[in-house]
C-alpha cells in the first residue's frame, strides 16, 4: 500500500466529501481555520489498486527541520477516513499512514484517537488522556447536583440572556474577555483575533459550530464555543469574567447549550479534558454528572524533537 502527502489545494473536493462525510472536525473548512497561525492543511493518503482508499487529515506548522504535524490541532480527535466498502483495509491503512508520517521528517507528530480505534503504532508513544462525558438524552435530564440546580434557578431569576455570538457586535469584547481569562490562568493567548474571526465566519454558515455569548450592561461576561459531531458535541472553549460570578451566567450558558443540543438530537456532551492540577474545574464538571472517558494521543518525536 503506497502513501502520499497531498495538500488541500491539490486534493479534489469530491474525494474529501466522500471520505469526511458529515464531519465538522475533519472538514477542509474547519482545518483551514489554523491558516492565520501558519497552519497548512494536508492529507496523508493510502493508495491501493491505483485509487485512494484512506486519508488522515491534519495541519502542518513550521518549516524543516522544525515542521510539526497535528491530527487534529488543540487536541481535537481524529481518525483515518475510508472510502465506503474499504473498511477491511482500516487497520492496515492506519498503520502505513502513521508509519509514513514518522518517516516524513517532522520534528513532532500528534494523532488524537478519541474513539480508541487503535492500540499502538511503531515509533509512537501513547499519552493517556481523559475527559468527562455526560449523557443528555433522557426526557427529563437535569444535572444531578442540587447546588448547581439552585444556581441555574438564580440565573433565570436574574434574567440572564444568552444569545448567539455575532462577530460585528461581540468580537472586541470577546477578545478582551479571552485575554483576561488567559492572564488569570497565567497563560499566553493561544489564538489571535484573526483565528476567531474565521471561526465566527464559519459558525455563521455552519450550525455545527455553536458559539454562545452573554454580556451585562455592555460588559462581556461569558462565551462558550461548542462543536457538534453527529450525536456528540464537544464543549471546546470557555472564557468568562469572574467579576460577574454572582449572575451564574457561566453555569446558565452551559445549561442553555445543553437545551439547544438536545433539541437537535445530540445525546452526549464532552466537557473537554482538564489539567490534572485543576481540581476546582474537575469538581465543577462532576456536578453535571457523567463519566470519565480515557483515550490516547499517539505522539512521534524525532531525535531533535526529543531534545526540544
Task: Convert 79-93 to b/e letters by CB count within 10 Å (16 or more is b).
Answer: bbbbbeeeeebbeeb
Nearest CA to 262 out of 136, 144, 174 is that of 136
- Any idea what DSSP says for residue 156? H
* 3-state percent helix, strand, coil for the chain, nearest multiple of 5: 35, 30, 35
CATH number (3.40.630.30, 3.10.20.30, 3.90.1300.10, 3.40.50.10700) of 2-130+296-301 reads: 3.40.630.30
Give the whole-angstrom CA distance, residue 214 versus residue 299: 38
pLDDT over 70 percentage in the chain: 94
Give the whole-angstrom CA distance, residue 175 versus residue 192: 9
Higher-pLDDT residue of 61 and 304 is: 61
Q: In what helix (H) or strand (E) does residue 74 lie, and over which residues does it extend?
A: none
- Any idea what DSSP says for residue 104? T
Nearest CA to 121 out of 105, 89, 97 is that of 97
Nearest CA to 48 out of 5, 21, 86 is that of 86
Distance, CA of 100 to chain centre = 25
Distance, CA of 193 to chain centre = 18
Q: Which tens digit of pLDDT belongs to each residue from 41-59?
A: 999 999 888 888 888 999 9
Distance, CA of 236 to chain centre = 6
Kindly report the three-state secondary structure assignment for every residue of 107-148.
Answer: CEEEEEECCCCCCCCCCCEEEEEEEEEEECCCCCCCCCCHHH
The pLDDT of residue 106 is 97
Q: Which tens digit of pLDDT belongs to each residue from 103-150?
A: 999 999 999 999 999 888 999 999 999 999 999 998 889 999 999 999
Instruction: Record the pTM.
Output: 0.93
Question: 137-266, superfamily in CATH?
Answer: Gcn5-related N-acetyltransferase (GNAT) (3.40.630.30)
> Given a cut of 90, is residue 202 above it in pLDDT?
yes
Nearest CA to 137 out of 267, 290, 288 is that of 267
Domain boundaries, the chain: 2-130+296-301, 137-266
Confidence of residue 85 (pLDDT cuts 50, 70, 90): low
Cell of 16: 474529501
Amino acid at each position: 500500500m503506497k502513501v502520499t502527502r497531498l495538500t488541500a489545494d491539490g486534493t479534489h473536493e469530491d474525494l474529501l466529501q466522500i471520505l469526511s462525510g458529515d464531519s465538522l472536525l475533519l472538514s477542509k473548512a474547519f482545518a483551514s481555520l489554523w491558516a492565520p497561525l501558519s497552519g497548512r492543511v494536508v492529507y496523508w493518503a493510502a493508495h491501493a489498486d491505483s485509487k485512494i482508499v484512506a486519508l488522515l487529515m491534519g495541519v502542518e506548522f513550521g518549516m524543516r527541520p522544525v515542521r510539526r504535524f497535528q491530527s487534529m490541532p488543540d487536541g481535537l480527535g481524529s481518525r483515518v477516513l475510508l472510502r465506503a466498502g474499504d473498511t477491511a483495509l482500516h487497520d492496515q491503512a492506519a498503520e502505513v499512514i502513521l508509519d509514513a508520517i514518522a518517516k516524513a521528517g517532522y520534528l513532532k507528530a500528534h494523532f488524537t484517537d478519541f474513539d480508541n480505534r487503535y492500540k499502538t503504532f511503531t515509533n509512537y508513544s501513547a499519552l493517556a488522556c481523559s475527559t468527562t462525558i455526560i449523557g443528555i438524552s433522557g426526557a427529563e435530564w437535569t444535572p444531578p447536583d442540587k447546588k448547581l440546580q439552585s444556581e441555574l434557578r438564580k440565573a433565570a431569576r436574574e434574567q440572564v440572556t444568552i444569545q448567539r455570538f455575532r462577530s460585528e457586535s461581540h468580537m472586541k469584547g470577546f477578545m478582551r474577555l479571552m485575554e483576561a481569562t488567559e492572564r488569570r490562568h497565567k497563560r499566553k493567548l493561544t489564538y489571535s483575533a484573526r483565528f476567531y474571526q474565521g471561526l465566527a465566519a464559519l459558525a455563521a454558515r455552519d450550525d455545527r459550530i455553536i458559539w454562545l455569548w452573554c454580556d451585562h450592561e455592555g460588559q462581556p461576561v461569558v462565551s462558550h464555543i461548542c462543536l457538534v459531531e453527529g450525536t456528540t458535541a464537544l464543549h471546546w472553549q470557555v472564557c468568562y469574567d469572574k467579576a460577574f460570578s454572582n449572575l451564574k451566567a457561566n453555569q446558565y450558558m452551559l445549561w442553555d447549550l445543553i437545551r439547544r443540543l438536545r433539541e437537535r438530537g445530540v445525546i452526549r456532551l464532552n466537557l473537554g479534558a482538564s489539567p490534572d492540577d485543576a481540581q476546582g474545574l474537575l469538581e465543577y464538571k462532576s456536578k453535571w454528572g457523567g463519566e470519565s472517558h480515557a483515550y490516547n494521543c499517539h505522539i512521534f518525536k524525532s531525535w531533535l524533537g526529543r531534545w526540544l
